[in-house]
Structure 1
Amino acid sequence: MNKIIKSIASCAVVAAISLCSSCKDFLVEEPVNSTYSDAFWKKSSDLRSALAGNYALIRDVMSSGNWNVSPRYFMYGDAVAKNYFTMQYAGDGLEGIQNGDYTFQYNVESLGDWTKYYKAITMSNILINRVPTVDATQFNDVANPEKFKNEILGEAYFLRALAYFMMVRVWGDVPLITEEYDDPITAPELPRSPKADVMTQIEEDCIKARDLLEWQYSNIGEAKVTANKGSVHALLAHLYLWRATMSNVQTDAVNLEDVQKADASIDQVIQSGMYFQTDTSNYYKTFIGKSSEGIFEIAIDENNREGSNMHVANLFLRTSHIQYYGTNSRCYVNPEYLTNHFYKIEREWNWYWNYDLNQWEWKEGEVYALDEKDVRLKKSFTDLDTDRPTCIKYSNVTYRNTSQNQDAYLSNNIIVFRLSDLLLLKAEIALYRGEVGKAIDIINGFRKRNGADASSYLASNLSKDDVMYEYALERGKEMYLEGHLMYDLLRTRQYTNFVGWLSGSRFKQEGFYWPVNPALFKNNNKLVQTSYWRGKV
């Protein structure tokens, strides 16, 4: 771990201290160099700047990838489930991950590298260590200095928990660093900690953040894109469900105690009255960001000069949305995703083989057709009659060169947690408890709300297994390209129906985790490769 700490400790501080905390400059992509010293931790603006840097580092984690546009947050969470979209060959090896091959050099060196996570974690550790020692009586520009310090500290705990949660789902066991090292050169080399210990730390950080943060935001301009009590409960809900089902993949047994904790966390969000599902007539606004149902998002807003030209949307959009793009995109939607998820049942006459009579019969039967009524289909996808449909869920484009429609930037926040996500998780919780009817009602409620054809509503006599499959379909519709789908399929064990390359045997060997870039092992003999990938990378 020595090399990791050496390379990121000073970098994290420099990146953070140089960032200002105004709403407009809340996140910047290229931090300005600054000198770090104890004299820095004196003013409220110092703490704001350091925290802004922490958010900037988290944004960099999610947006980074290999040399091509490949935001890791979506590569891990969506791309590896090939049934959802397809990558065309571009020489970077990304198409390999859709077949479960994570060994391509570019992918191992970039997506297998956890350094950026530790930059963010290091900044959180610095804040957690330093903020309590700051003399709040010197904050002349803050109405409630102690509350201000609590908010800074609570957000730092949340961001550390979020970074570790993202890591534990990608790599399982990861080095656990929770302290600030005064001298990175002599910091200890650390091995990978068991994922159970990492998840315990995430839970502890969340509880501390929950107790320090309020539901309301002190600065309304930073609502949704900074953490509050709702953000913490959303993270806890996902953590508890992941821990309930993924702590021991040798069994499909579910830890109902963690399921109960997840349910309680979701109830806290619902009962707060802070969040409301976006009206379907304004569906697209959910993914611009800061909608009524947004709980925690990463700011990507070109109005504040924080847009992105390395957004996941850049992989999908074509000439009709970015004028100088071509008609072929790097990625396109798998047509089978649309027909399998957005279905309606019709009846028509056709020839059917009667196995009992060993002959063909002309009769009326049920057929599945594309349900074009569902708002999520109508608003998120185009080119439906082609073999390469387009995802336009994120297509809020602004040209910096407006006169020539050049230099396009996306203004679509990365939606990390939102209310519909948590409400749908309630169906999963119900299934773990054996409450099949309740899960059916929740799924049907989503289909009705989004205008789906009534023939797709679930019958009340379906089995638990059938409803779990339909739940996976509903998550696939609701959460498409939001960084959740692969984790949903692992948690629910529905990967067998959607991820062809992941066999039951490979799953039990934890072959869904990513390898670690071997370059990180230099100067740290305690690090080991992810077990499934030993001898393969």
Structure 2
Amino acid sequence: MCTLVTGTILFSSCKKLMDQEPRNSTYDQVFWQNSKDCESALAGNYALLRDVMTSGTFYTSPRYYMYGDAVSTSYLTLQYWGDGLEYIQNGDITGAYNLNSLANWTKYYKAIAMSNLILNKIPSVPDENLKDISNPVKFKQKIIGQALFIRALSYFMMTRVWGDVPLVTTIDEDPITAKHLARSPKADVMKQIEADCHEAAKNLIWGNTTAGEANVTANKGSVYALLAHLYLWRATMTDARSATPNMTDVNSADTTITRIMEDGGYALTDTANYYSTFIGRSREGIFEINASEDSREGSNSSVANMFLRTANIAYNNNNSRAYVTPRYFTTHFFVNKVTEGWVWNEVAWAWEWKSVVTKETDTKDIRFRKNFTDINTDRPTCIKYSNVIYRNPGQKLDAYVSNNIIVFRLSDMRLLQAEIALYKNQVNTATTIINEFRTRNGADVSNQLPSGLTKDAVMNEYVLERGKELYLEGHIFYDLLRTRKYEDFVPWLTSSRFNQEGYYWPVYPALFSNNNLLTQTTYWRGKI
């Protein structure tokens, strides 16, 4: 039934933003009739959200990670494989394959269209048709809350990539004659995201009613995590020319995360069981996209496939699409080793006994030890997601990566509290949070931050800590934009380009043929 839903009624409300077909006028008479229909529609909505995040160019390149992690060689390096994906690491998004895939927002609108359809149809499903449900009202509220969350998350991901995007919140009975839509200001888009989240929270509960729903089904915690990110993005990115955050939104993020900490029931994973967080469904997870091979939803096009080599997938070769840029380790995992000795002073033309500070790799940090191999080569490997299961185990063939896509987790929220503290000039609070992470992960004691550092110095350390904790989780680029630390790690993004909002992506030109009100992203006008 899920295939029937996504194939037949999906395209009913995107208003010329993608190719559409007239909806079968008799379809409503045979669907939306019982609980299974409703659940199938929601399952289709989640499937479309998963497709949004895992789609990319014709080679493995999931867009969620390309936008959030791969735009700079400060963290990972993309090798040439014929599709020009590597050019995004130089800030060049004009290649045909990148425009056709990563600059194309069609898949987002498919997920949004499905949410809109569910929100339109579910309230009118008669309660008498839900006789197998103990509480039809709560059943419908739960589906509505999740559809609102999926729509809000889709728009949030879009507005971080494109800024202004067309805002569609209703369905059209006749999409062929639907009016064209212009791009809505990002402030309006974020206002809609906030409204959707608040309404979703009213319809959802903390926790889940079944074990199968844990982490991969949106609940109140998922909504609050999205809200926290929304508030901080809006506080810092509404006006690129201002480095002063909007404190109303900062305070809203603060109270939102406090609710997650107090009422969510989440807990940090013991580092002795480090990989369980990234396999998925740990107590630390707040929202994840299911990609478990337990339910035959493992992936052979995971972001892990861009890194993993023969040691992890038997039939892969060692020429992987992506590798960890070696200097990532020298900028993030290092200790300052102090030694004393004789140093030649050319000015005084004499030997002096001095203390000498040299940088060495912090091999004690569990995130260094667990997440990376081939450290001493020029192409280190990320193995954060390496739960590989063979569907043909006897011959080690047909390998699938069985790691969920981790969208929000507790460590992310706790680190955001440090960012909030810095915006509030609570430098010691931010220092304490960063030190907690370093202690928890076994980092060398010399990496503990002393009290009395400047706000800017602690912000630098905060960005490094996010880069260690959330490596390859889709957050890094957005962190650098919010904190204005992009110039240290994204060489192509100068302050001039930033002020012109040159971090946003262009829109795939083919979309303009169906919408005469659509305009190209400001920075890219005349360049594509």
TM bin, normalised by shorter chain, reads over 0.9
Give 1:101's match in structure 2, choosing from 84, 92, 95: 92
TM-fit CA distance, 1:357: 4.9
Q: Is 1:4 aligned with 2:13? A: no
SS in 1 for 2:425: coil
User: What's 1:31 paired with?
Assistant: none
* Alignment of structure 1 residues 415-434 onto 2, 5 Å: 415-434=406-425
- Partner of residue 165 from structure 1, selected from 145, 153, 156: 156
User: Aligned equivalents of 1:111 and 1:237: distance in 2?
Assistant: 26
TM-score, scaled to structure 1: 0.93
Aligned CA RMSD, in angstroms, stands at 1.7
Aligned to 2:142: 151
Work out whether residues 8 and 115 of structure 1, in 8 Å CA contact, stay in contact via their aligned partners in 2: no
- Mapped to 2, the partners of 1:332 and 1:469 lie a distance apart of 24
Q: CA deviation at 1:91?
A: 1.1
Structure 2, unmatched stretches of 5+, are 1-13
Aligned residues: 515
1:340/1:101 CA distance change after superposition, 3 Å:
same
Determine whether 1:321 maps to 2:312: yes
Contact 1:3 1:522 in 2 (8 A): no
Shift of 1:523: 2.5
1:310 maps onto 2:301 in alignment: yes
Distance 1:504 1:453, change over 3 A: same
Identity %: 60
* Shift, 1:138, TM fit: 2.1
The CA deviation at 1:401 is: 1.4
Deviation (angstroms), 1:356: 7.3
Which residue of the partner structure matches residue 19 of structure 1? none
CA–CA separation in structure 2 for the residues paired with 1:341 and 1:68: 29
Partner of 2:388 in structure 1? Answer: 397
Q: Which residue of 2 aligns with 1:506?
A: 497
| Whole-Å separation in 2 of the counterparts to 1:141 and 1:305 | 28
Match of 1:90? 81
Query: What CA distance in whole angstroms lies between the structure 1 residues aligned with 2:307 and 2:123?
Result: 45
**CA spacing shift, 1:490–1:352, aligned 2, 3 Å:** farther
Bigger shift: 286-295 or 351-360? 351-360
CA distance in 1, matches of 2:452, 2:22: 57
Are 1:63 and 1:72, in contact at CA under 8 Å, matched by a contact in 2? yes
Question: Does 2:275 match 1:262?
Answer: no
SS of the residue corresponding to residue 48 of structure 2 reads: helix
- 1:256-405 to 2 correspondences below 5 Å: 256-349=247-340, 357=348, 361-405=352-396
- Provide the rounded CA distance (Å) in 2 between the counterparts of 1:5 and 1:388: 40
Post-superposition CA distance 1:328-385 (Å, at most 9, x none): 2111101110121111121124675769758774522221110011111111001111
CA deviation profile, 1:446-489 (whole Å, cap 9, x unmatched): 00000000001111121100100000000000000000000000
Does the 8 A contact of 1:157 with 1:206 survive in 2? yes
- CA, structure 1 residues 5+386, in 2 after alignment: closer, same or farther (shift >3 Å)? closer
**Partner-residue secondary structure (3-state), 2:359:** strand
Distance 1:287 1:177 in 2: 34
Name the structure 2 match of 1:113: 104
In 2, Cα distance between equivalents of 1:286 and 1:487: 22
Kindly indicate whether residue 114 of structure 2 is the aligned counterpart of residue 123 of structure 1: yes
Question: What is the DSSP-based 3-state SS (H/G/I as helix, E as strand, rest coil) of the residue aligned with 1:40?
Answer: coil
Q: Would you say 1:179 and 2:192 are equivalent positions?
A: no
In structure 2, what residue type is equivalent to 1:51?
L
Q: CA deviation at 1:88?
A: 1.1
After superposition, the Cα gap between the structure-2 partners of 1:360 and 1:387, relative to the gap in structure 1 and judged at 3 Å, is: farther
Off by >6 Å, runs of 4+ in structure 1: none
State the distance in 2 between where 1:252 and 1:534 align: 25
User: 1:232/1:353 Cα in 2 relative to 1: closer, same or farther (>3 Å)?
Assistant: farther
Q: Distance in 1 between matches of 2:507 and 2:176?
A: 23
Distance (whole Å) between structure 2 residues aligned to residue 331 and residue 8 of structure 1:
39
Who is 1:25 aligned against?
A: none
